[in-house]
């Protein structure tokens, strides 16, 4: 879905009768109709940014339903939620989805990088093919002795 479609879906989800999320709450009295519309547009933009772009329409709508519940559980009065309150509720709604389970990328250690080079027959520092570096790679099972032997050179 493109940005405008997502934003329109959120706007309607917040305002469309009979179940629009904001319809359950009291609009701030200082907001005119135009100001309220602008506030809802801002809220829709901010909520859109909190929902992963990878969500398809069904996932997007499911996140919005989770948002409704999260907001209801967080809201302590009957007034419109503030934008930060709504964003917090949206983050809570996204947290329970597969989008929140992004795999953490574990950085490779220097030994793992050098072991990969050795396994691929690429150039590497002599420290990793002889001496303490080689002993570490062997002890950790990152390379075999045969792979290290390929780096031996005849003495001159």
Domain total for the chain?
2
- Pair (119, 91) in one structural domain: no
pLDDT digits (tens, 9 = 90+) for 104-132: 445 678 888 999 999 998 999 888 998 88
Phi-psi region of 121 (alpha: psi -120 to 50; beta: other; left: phi over 0): left
- Pair (33, 85) in one structural domain: yes
Residue 105: inside a domain:
no
- Pair (80, 129) in one structural domain: no
* Two tokens, residue 70: 């999260």
- Pair (50, 82) in one structural domain: yes
Give the separation between CA 104 and CA 15, rounded to whole angstroms: 37
- Enumerate residues 6+ apart whose C-beta is below 8 A from 78: 24, 25, 26
Burial tier of 31 (Cβ tally within 10 Å: 0-12, 13-18, 19+):
middle
- Pair (42, 88) in one structural domain: yes
- Pair (90, 143) in one structural domain: no
For residue 106, the model assigns a pLDDT of: 58
The per-residue pLDDT string of the chain (156 residues; one tens digit each, 9 = 90 and over) reads 888 899 999 999 999 998 899 998 999 999 999 999 999 999 999 999 988 888 888 889 999 999 999 999 988 888 999 999 999 999 999 886 776 544 344 567 888 899 999 999 899 988 899 888 999 999 989 999 999 999 887 664
Residue 28: inside a domain:
yes
- Pair (44, 93) in one structural domain: yes
Closest CA to 9 of 34, 39, 40: 40
The whole domain housing 132 covers 110-149
Give the separation between CA 5 and CA 22, rounded to whole angstroms: 19
């Amino acid at each position: 879905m493109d940005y405008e479609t997502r934003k329109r879906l959120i706007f309607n989800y917040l305002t469309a009768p009979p179940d629009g999320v904001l319809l359950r709450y009291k609009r701030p009295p200082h907001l005119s109709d135009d100001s309220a519309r602008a506030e809802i547009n801002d809220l829709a933009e901010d909520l859109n940014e909190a929902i992963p772009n990878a969500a398809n329409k069904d996932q997007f709508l499911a996140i919005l339903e989770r948002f409704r519940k999260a907001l209801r559980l967080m809201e302590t009065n009957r007034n419109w939620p503030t934008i930060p309150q709504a964003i917090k509720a949206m983050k809570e709604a996204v947290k329970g989805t597969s989008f929140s389970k992004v795999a953490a990328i574990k950085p490779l250690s220097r030994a793992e990088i050098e072991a990969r080079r050795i396994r691929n027959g690429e150039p590497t520092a002599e420290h990793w093919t002889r001496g303490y570096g080689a002993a570490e790679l062997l002890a950790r099972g990152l390379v075999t002795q045969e792979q290290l032997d390929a780096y031996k050179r005849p003495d001159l």
